Amino acid sequence: MLPRGFFAGSSLQVAAELLGCVLEHDTAAGRVAVQLSEVEAYEGMADPASHAYRGQTARNAVMFGPPGHTYVYFTYGMHFCVNLVCGPVGTPSAVLLRAGQVIEGAPLAAERRLARRRPAGRGLAGRAGAAAPAERELAERELAERELAERELAERERAGRERAGRELARGPARLCQALGIDRALDGADVCDPASSLRIRPGPLPADASPLPAVSRGPRVGVSSAADRPWRFWLTGDPTVSDYRPYVPRARPKAVSPSAGEGGTMGR
């Protein structure tokens, strides 16, 4: 595991060092591990885009605690995002984990990501024997259409599994879905080997090739301090999410009463 001292510095110091590290989560269904390719730094009360900018609340309390713990929040009433807390106690900086490559447990990650709904089949038993020719033709056509739909669904699922290396954890919400992370893991200690959610150094290239270069630029979708180049990613990595600047909504959307949360780490 990464030692707690790894997270002792500010988010800006820690963010780039997290690239290439592996976040893994053990559940009853199995283990999924993601090698990080994209992160964003948030600097607490010095950063208008941070959830901690206005001080401590029940929602962001973990950010004010010891480093090496997770801050998990719910956004837009539908997605979870996970951050790793940095710096000393009382200094609420954190790194949002934006994207990565699934390197273990891809089938389980795909099950979590893809809807596995198959059309309910209705056999011809009790219909075909004494049915009129027109009815038999209609039943056979319906069966052929269902079989085609099932083949198309199976093909989409196969294509989805093949895209696992690029799409399964591409973006902060997908990363949490692939890993099975929700608010129950808020405050998890990723430096504890006994924790179900842990972070470890990534594997070095087997052929001794140089490590990928690191790029940096503006954060995605934040409405405040949008020009700060506090997003870091592995240059050329296909799992890095697309950059999208903040665009104000035409009208506010309702969120669940327990959430009241939106944006990336911004408000």
Can you give the CATH number for the domain in which 218 is found?
3.10.300.10
CA–CA distance, 194 with 184 (Å, rounded to integer)? 16
Among 48-57, 73-82, 120-129, the range with the most confident prediction by mean pLDDT is: 48-57
Q: Is residue 68 part of a domain?
A: yes
- What number is the average pLDDT over the span 156-167? 66
Distance from C-alpha of 219 to C-alpha of 263, rounded to nearest angstrom = 11
Domain contains 243: no
Model confidence at 157: pLDDT above 80 = no
Lowest mean pLDDT among 76-90, 180-194, 243-257: 243-257
Query: Could you tell me the pLDDT band of residue 140, with boundaries at 50, 70 and 90?
Result: confident
Nearest to 245 by CA among 51, 89, 83, 49: 49
pLDDT of residue 245: 84
CB 104 within 8 A of CB 32: yes
Residues 6+ apart with CB under 8 A from 200: 1, 2, 21, 22, 24
Q: Across the chain, what does the average pLDDT equal?
A: 86
Q: Residue 165: which pLDDT band, with cuts at 50, 70 and 90?
A: low
Is residue 188 a part of any domain in this protein?
yes
Mean pLDDT of 28-34: 98
Q: What's the confidence (pLDDT) of residue 7? A: 98
pTM: 0.77
* 136 pLDDT more than 60: yes
* 224-265 tens-digit pLDDT: 999 999 999 999 999 998 898 888 776 655 555 444 444 456
- Residue 122 placed within a domain: no
- Number of domains within the chain: 1
**Cα 86 to Cα 6, 18, 35, distances in angstroms:** 9, 11, 19
Residue 161: pLDDT band (50, 70, 90) is: low
The reply to whether 13 falls in a domain is yes
Lowest mean pLDDT among 94-98, 125-129, 188-192: 125-129
Residue 207 has pLDDT above 90, yes or no: no
**What is the C-alpha to C-alpha distance for residues 98 and 264, in angstroms, rounded to an integer?**
9
Give the residue numbers spanning the domain of 91. 4-114+165-234
pLDDT value of position 51: 96
Domain membership flag for residue 19: yes
What is the number of alpha carbons within 13 Å of residue 10 lying toward its C-beta? 9
Stretch (H or E) spanning 146: helix 133-162
Kindly state whether residue 156 falls inside one of the protein's structural domains: no
Q: Is the pLDDT of residue 120 over 50?
A: no
Predicted pLDDT of residue 116: 36
Task: For residues 95-114, give the mean pLDDT.
Answer: 94
146 within some domain? no
pLDDT in tens, 4-20: 999 999 999 999 999 99
Q: What is the pLDDT of residue 13?
A: 95
